[in-house]
């Protein structure tokens, strides 16, 4: 992988994507999105999928679903392989985020949090951990909640590493295998649906999951 991210997608010194104007922020994310997507047309698609999935768990802003969808649509019979690569790489990247929070919070972790202007969001995580423990990591792994904030926080709060890793694998695996399997079964119509309603579908899934546990507890 030799191609660099285009200069146009990099914010000015000291500026995070959230600090840019809304129009500029959209352009930055669109250019990053297109840059990620172009790897599907290269011989390096699978390594790119691994690296993207790994990096997104600790610092990179574009989710690997973008490339995963493109690859599955280009070779639907390989859906299981692509989803497995995403899951393994993302879980390993989560361990990197955990290590940053555990031993490098002051030097690196705080900078990542500040880059995404997630300081207030990060401050709430401590309360969520005290209430939900591993469940909040699972929800972050599955949904549009910024997973990188939780991988770093898990290390900073010294969550059990084995438990964190297992929950990450289950949450990330559920997400990536569901996306890939739906694309394999339904093809282009499902791709259009996922592209348009991905965040909403994740939130609905979590609400159904929470509702299911509430019913179990009730009866």
Greater confidence (34 vs 107) lies with: 107
Q: Give which of 42, 43, 68 is closest to 53, Cα–Cα.
A: 68
Residue 10 is predicted with a pLDDT of: 38
Residue 86 is predicted with a pLDDT of: 95
The model's confidence at residue 66, banded by pLDDT at 50, 70 and 90, is confident
pLDDT tens string 155-202: 988 889 999 999 999 999 999 999 899 889 887 787 777 777 766 666
- CA–chain centroid gap for 146, Å, is 7
Q: Do residues 171 and 141 make contact, with C-beta atoms less than 8 angstroms apart?
A: yes
pLDDT tens string 40-61: 788 888 999 999 999 989 888 7
The answer to whether residue 111 scores a pLDDT higher than 80 is: yes
The model's confidence at residue 14, banded by pLDDT at 50, 70 and 90, is very low
Q: Do residues 82 and 68 make contact, with C-beta atoms less than 8 angstroms apart?
A: yes
- Stretch among 69-73, 132-136, 140-144, 198-202 having the lowest mean pLDDT: 198-202
**Burial letters 132-165, b for 16+ CB under 10 A, else e:** eebbbbbbbbbbebbbbbbbbbbbbeebeeeebb
The answer to whether residue 93 scores a pLDDT higher than 70 is: yes
According to the 3-state scheme, what is the secondary structure of 35-79?
A: HHHHHHHCCCHHHHHHHHHHHHCCCCCCCCHHHHHHHHHHCHHHH
Q: Return the top range by mean pLDDT from 9-23, 91-105, 143-157, 178-192.
A: 91-105
Per domain, the residue ranges of the chain are 7-218
The model's confidence at residue 208, banded by pLDDT at 50, 70 and 90, is low
The answer to whether residue 74 scores a pLDDT higher than 50 is: yes
The model's confidence at residue 5, banded by pLDDT at 50, 70 and 90, is very low
Residue 130 is predicted with a pLDDT of: 73
- Specify the pTM: 0.74
The answer to whether residue 9 scores a pLDDT higher than 60 is: no
């Amino acid at each position: 992988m030799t191609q660099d991210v285009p200069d146009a997608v990099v914010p000015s010194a000291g500026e995070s994507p959230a600090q840019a104007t809304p129009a500029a922020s959209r352009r930055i994310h669109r250019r990053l999105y297109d840059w990620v997507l172009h790897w599907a047309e290269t011989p390096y698609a699978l390594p790119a999928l691994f690296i993207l999935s790994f990096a997104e768990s600790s610092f990179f802003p574009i989710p690997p679903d973008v490339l995963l969808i493109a690859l599955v649509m280009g070779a639907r019979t390989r859906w299981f392989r692509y989803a497995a690569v995403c899951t393994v790489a993302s879980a390993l990247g989560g361990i990197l985020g955990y290590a940053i929070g555990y031993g490098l919070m002051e030097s690196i972790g705080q900078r990542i949090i500040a880059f995404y202007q997630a300081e207030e969001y990060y401050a709430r995580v401590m309360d969520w951990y005290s209430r939900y423990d591993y469940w909040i990591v699972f929800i972050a792994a599955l949904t549009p909640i910024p997973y990188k904030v939780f991988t770093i926080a898990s290390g900073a709060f010294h969550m059990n590493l084995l438990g964190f890793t297992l929950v990450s694998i289950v949450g990330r695996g559920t997400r990536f295998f569901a996306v890939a399997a739906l694309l394999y079964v339904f093809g282009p119509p499902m791709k259009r649906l996922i592209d348009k309603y991905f965040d909403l579908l994740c939130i609905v899934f979590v609400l159904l999951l929470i509702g299911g546990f509430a019913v179990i507890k009730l009866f």
